[in-house]
Amino acid sequence: MCIVVAMVALTGCGTEKKDDGTLKVGLIQLMEHPSLDEIREAIVAQVDAEAARLELKVDIDYKNAQGDATLINSICRQFVDDKVDVIVAIATPAAQGAASVTSTIPVVFSAISDPIEAGLLQNLDAPEGNVTGTSDAIAVDRIFGLAAELTPNVQTYGFIYNKGESNSVSVIAQAKEYLDSVGIAYIERTVANEGEVQQAARVLLEECDAIFSPIDNTVANAMSVLAQEAILAQKPVYVAADSMVHDGGLATVGVNYTNLGTQTADMVIEVLTGTPIAEIPVEVLTDVGVVVNPDTAAAIGVDVSRYE
């Protein structure tokens, strides 16, 4: 996809314009998924609108890595070879790939649960180097608080996630800390790919009262399978992304991904108009809401009418 806003270019920006005054954005998305797609669409729409308002000429080169680490690296290196003015990376592996291939081109990430744990930067308020962006940090206490309200008899949670995704590892650590503090037990199963989700779910559902999954790209892509197994077992699945609720999870307390994409785009515009990365702190979305799946709730006999 290539989007060009053909207007008169501003002068005096800190980025390198092409011969015709065009500023180039390399946009990499980890894989196709409703939440990530929603973020990308919001980024493109907002960059388009702001470029028109500021009379900037912007060219967006969008690439999808299809969840392939080798392809992430290849795409990011191509962006460097193309001398893009900024790389926008959606999801943690994409951001890590972008940050690994350049220390000079600005990298603006989106949907990173824990940028520090992911090794992208050390200070959220005053980024050093060439990386900043937006975080969808998960308020696990609020998710488990909602779970306690909807299904108060849960004594053991099952965690399912890909330990190769640093954002998932970070959120699971927070979940363990929270459940330890309230005296609720947990067990876990990790998966390396989507094909392992069904068997992991079956094992967990034999031993736990409810399942929790963070914003894990592997699990999210197999969410319908996980949801089906949980419904057969008559047990709830709590998740950390609204798209995973739409795909069959029972409920979450999460961020609005259109808002996340819009904020990411505003940061991209700041970079394109010359603001140094050090002056663009990481933005953590605090505007969260409860999302429930009434069909799943009806199938397992949980009352979610308060939130419909």
- Whether residue 167 is found in the same domain as residue 82: no
Pair 106, 147 in one domain? no
Number of domains forming the structure of the chain? 2
Residue 77 bridge partners (DSSP): none
Q: Give tens-digit pLDDT for 113-137.
A: 889 989 999 999 989 899 999 998 8
User: Any idea what DSSP says for residue 234?
Assistant: T
pLDDT tens per residue, range 215-273: 898 999 999 999 999 999 999 999 998 889 999 999 999 888 999 999 999 999 999 99
- If asked whether residues 129 and 42 sit together in one domain, one would say yes
Give the H or E element holding residue 254. strand 251-255
- 181 CB-near residues (< 8 Å, 6+ apart): none
The answer to whether residues 301 and 212 belong to one domain is yes
Kindly give, in sequence order, each residue whose CB lies less than 8 Å from that of residue 131, ignoring residues fewer than 6 positions away: 95, 99, 106, 107, 108, 109, 115, 120, 121, 277
- Tell me, yes or no, whether 231 and 100 share the same domain: no
Q: Are residues 39 and 162 in the same domain?
A: no
Residues 154 and 186 in one domain: yes
Q: Are residue 31 and residue 129 in the same domain, yes or no?
A: yes
CATH of the domain at 133: 3.40.50.2300
Is residue 128 domain-shared with residue 105, that is, in the same domain? yes
CA dihedral 123, 125, 126, 128 (to 10 degrees): 30
- Burial (CB count within 10 angstroms: exposed 0-12, middle 13-18, buried 19+), residue 15: middle
Task: With beta carbons less than 8 A apart as the criterion, state whether 237 and 224 touch.
Answer: no
Domain range for residue 45?
2-137+256-287
Q: Is the same domain home to 127 and 194?
A: no
Buried b (16+ CB within 10 A) or exposed e, 234-267: ebbbbbbbbbbbebbbbbbbbbbbeebbbbbbbb
Task: Check whether residue 167 and residue 64 sit in a common domain.
Answer: no
pLDDT one-digit tens code per residue, 49-105: 999 999 999 999 999 999 999 999 999 999 999 999 999 999 999 999 999 999 999
297, 277: one domain = no
